[in-house]
Structure 1
């Protein structure tokens, strides 16, 4: 197991700059963001331009990362694979297939994505559509030696009323999506506000053998504010989809998750993937320097729990 970071929050830096910085901060692996070039959201970086990605591009990336003692834990593009607009859904699927092709050229085992949801339809209709459309994507990946993983982020910001819009948010859905060929990219920060015990859920997923990758993000909950707003968050006074009013994401070490128990559960189960810090902390964000400091705080928290590993000749 290696400690890594998801590059998405570092869109102001190039992959070359991240590769030079990460080992100095205590990281050994990168979960590389691969949104389409030109994505404008702060957490949708394009550190791999997968459109037209070639064997020569893969060789260049491997040489860069090898030179800094880094590996790639996953290629990540979290689009809405069940989008209600057929043209947009097709665009998402085409880009996801390009991410799979790039991962195959790099020798990377995993591509992380979302299941998504057509928010104009009931969940039951979405489940049926997923069962019809998504096995083609997981099969495309499997044919190239890659496993598609769905992250358990609810993506409530995609829904007009703040309800879950990524059908991978609960252990029940993890079992369902495994039947479609997906593994799980487990992020414990999304579970407490849904009333799900993150450790119990993790142990269930580990027993099921579906965990391929782990993201490390923490959460801070204000229980008194939850009493005011309810589990779905602010209604009349919400300023943005993420302005829920009673919880917020934090870097590991600044929230309330028990990382000692989470990491121990991974080791106890023989998990052989990586743990990548995902930075969405509003306190340690806003500027590049504060974001990097948040990454340092996360490494300081997790590094004692995940010893440095040395793999001679390791590449991406």
Structure 2
């Protein structure tokens, strides 16, 4: 297994600058953020484009791959996390169009996996959202399959604040929903970008989920989560985590990393654990973000070989 990082936390650095730092600090892979260029951040930790996938061609893709290889780095996945089931039809259509561009770029780069969200219309029921999912997502997965690319859906509920209330903006947050997704789309190139932190505050057994869905885990996000007990007392579980679940760097929260990696090894996962930095205590400057990544690195290194 390799230790990697998601580049989205470095929006002010170039890909070369991120790669130089990652290589010199013990990381072996990078998951490259590829939002539309010039779009800006529509939400925190979104909007970063370390590759312009729309203008990428075979020669520029090969140059990127070669430059990273010289630094001892591989690309674990391309990362683009929009809301393809948004109630705004223009937003949803744009998400799918850019996702197709990301798939084409992944093929040029020789990258097998694209990480994204399934999406959700936050104000409607799960059943209604799954009806929409069944209508629009199979074509996207088939498109990726035709290019030899796997789609890895991250299991984040995407409900952190009032503007994502009440349902969040991603249906792929629980084992029951994953089963439902895979019943609708059983294709072998459709799976999960598994992030254990999102299961902590939902009180879902992480190793059990890894064992059940091991053959669908295409990529892993390494992020931790702290439950603020005072906030849980004040707001209760009906707040869906708002006010008491806090994303943290690996080792600063409640994920049992030994149990998690034990389960990953048991099911045969041997790809990349990509550190996703969303910890407010280590942001505000490049140096703070780098310090956070080093904390996560030192926590995970004993498990990643």
* Deviation at residue 252 of structure 1 after TM alignment: 0.4
What pairs up with 1:159-178 in 2 under 5 angstroms?
A: 160-178=164-182
* Deviation at residue 42 of structure 1 after TM alignment: 4.5
* Deviation at residue 253 of structure 1 after TM alignment: 1.1
- Are the counterparts in 1 of residues 210 and 267 from structure 2 also a CA contact under 8 Å? no
* Count of aligned pairs between the two proteins: 297
- Are the counterparts in 2 of residues 19 and 64 from structure 1 also a CA contact under 8 Å? no
Write the distance in 1 (CA, Å) between the matches of 2:155 and 2:266. 22
Q: From the superposition, tell whether residues 287 and 210 of structure 1 become closer, same or farther in structure 2 (CA, over 3 Å).
A: same
Partner of 2:252: 254
Partner of 2:232: 226
Write the distance in 1 (CA, Å) between the matches of 2:238 and 2:67. 44
Q: What SS does the aligned partner of 1:148 have? A: strand
* Deviation at residue 274 of structure 1 after TM alignment: 0.9
What pairs up with 1:85-234 in 2 under 5 angstroms?
A: 85-157=88-160, 160-179=164-183, 180=185, 181=187, 182-206=190-214, 209-233=215-239
**Unaligned stretches of 5+ in structure 2?**
none
* Deviation at residue 187 of structure 1 after TM alignment: 0.2
Write the distance in 2 (CA, Å) between the matches of 1:112 and 1:223. 32
- Are the counterparts in 2 of residues 37 and 49 from structure 1 also a CA contact under 8 Å? yes
- Are the counterparts in 2 of residues 22 and 28 from structure 1 also a CA contact under 8 Å? yes
Write the distance in 1 (CA, Å) between the matches of 2:150 and 2:229. 38
Partner of 1:9: 9
Write the distance in 1 (CA, Å) between the matches of 2:67 and 2:166. 41
Correspondence 1:265 to 2:269? no
Partner of 1:49: 52
- Are the counterparts in 2 of residues 178 and 210 from structure 1 also a CA contact under 8 Å? no
- Are the counterparts in 1 of residues 84 and 91 from structure 2 also a CA contact under 8 Å? no
* Deviation at residue 161 of structure 1 after TM alignment: 2.3
Q: From the superposition, tell whether residues 54 and 77 of structure 1 become closer, same or farther in structure 2 (CA, over 3 Å).
A: same
* Deviation at residue 260 of structure 1 after TM alignment: 1.2
Q: From the superposition, tell whether residues 75 and 126 of structure 1 become closer, same or farther in structure 2 (CA, over 3 Å).
A: same
Q: From the superposition, tell whether residues 229 and 84 of structure 1 become closer, same or farther in structure 2 (CA, over 3 Å).
A: same
* Deviation at residue 184 of structure 1 after TM alignment: 0.4
Superposed CA RMSD in Å reads 1.6
TM-score w.r.t. the length of structure 1 is: 0.90
Encode CA deviations 1:5-53: one digit per residue, 9 max, x unaligned. Answer: 0011111111000111102211000011101112224412101111132
2:74 to 54, 71, 75: 71
Write the distance in 1 (CA, Å) between the matches of 2:255 and 2:79. 24
Write the distance in 2 (CA, Å) between the matches of 1:227 and 1:196. 19
Write the distance in 1 (CA, Å) between the matches of 2:153 and 2:15. 24
Of 135-144 and 113-122, more deviation after overlay is shown by: 113-122
* Deviation at residue 157 of structure 1 after TM alignment: 4.3
Write the distance in 1 (CA, Å) between the matches of 2:258 and 2:70. 31
Partner of 1:313: none
* Deviation at residue 220 of structure 1 after TM alignment: 0.7
Write the distance in 1 (CA, Å) between the matches of 2:149 and 2:87. 26
Q: What SS does the aligned partner of 1:83 have? A: coil
**Unaligned stretches of 5+ in structure 1?**
235-241, 308-316
Bigger relative CO (Cα 8 Å, ≥ 6 apart): 1
Write the distance in 2 (CA, Å) between the matches of 1:246 and 1:92. 30
